[in-house]
Chains A and B, each alone.
Chain A
Amino acid sequence: AQSVTQPDIHITVSEGASLELRCNYSYGATPYLFWYVQSPGQGLQLLLKYFSGDTLVQGIKGFEAEFKRSQSSFNLRKPSVHWSDAAEYFCAVDLILTGGGNKLTFGTGTQLKVEL
């Protein structure tokens, strides 16, 4: 069964500092990979996605992620964090279902706190 691991439950960074959120997956083939962000009381918003091709993908709000097949990782990065980036971040792996459609398997999330 596929799984997604986000080893850091909480991360605190200072505003202006760089950020890296870790994500590892277990899956038999190269999956579709996503990062979502959830602000308090809100739904999930897609930050970026990897389907194929260039292993460094750019997303919204200045985020990027790098797919490393050898490490089964898809880490999220941002060079300079803003206070408004404080939120919960979810990594997800997409499995194509035999009956059609797709199923996202989510990690347990990383809560980001930004210190001013």
Chain B
Amino acid sequence: NAGVTQTPKFQVLKTGQSMTLQCAQDMNHNSMYWYRQDPGMGLRLIYYSASEGTTDKGEVPNGYNVSRLNKREFSLRLESAAPSQTSVYFCASARRTGDEQYFGPGTRLTVT
């Protein structure tokens, strides 16, 4: 039981490049989330998926897109990376509304 897994762990992009961050959970959870963590700002929600087939914007969705591929997988795409998107990205999942969220180990992204 791996919990929440994220790939890659580290990534360096040049401004304007695109990439997809992958997230998968093996806990049969319904809800999945993408956060970014920046120094002094805690974690901020980018997008979430309350259940398979639905996605919604969080606090800071600009510059990102998501896909809930199936119940297990939730990917985050940067179409044209910008230096302001340099951050640590965390994926999380929860069994049902109001339950605690389980976090992956994070992806450290640097955009130059």
Is B a genuine binding partner of A? yes
Kindly list chain B residues whose C-beta atoms are within 8 Å of the C-beta of A90. 42-43
Find out whether the CB atom of B98 lies under 8 angstroms from the CB atom of A51. yes
Find out whether the CB atom of A99 lies under 8 angstroms from the CB atom of B43. no
Q: Which of B53-112 contact A (CB under 8 A)?
A: 54, 56, 58, 90, 92, 94, 97-106
Q: Is A84 an interface residue (CB 8 A)?
A: no
B30-55 CB contact bits vs A (8 Å, 1 = yes)?
01010000001111110011110010
A96 to chain B, nearest CB (A): 6
Q: Of B51, B98, B105, which one neighbours A43 at CB under 8 angstroms? A: B105
A contact residues, total (Cβ < 8 Å)? 27
Find out whether the CB atom of A108 lies under 8 angstroms from the CB atom of B98. no
Chain B residues close to A by CB (< 8 Å): 4, 31, 33, 40-45, 48-51, 54, 56, 58, 90, 92, 94, 97-106
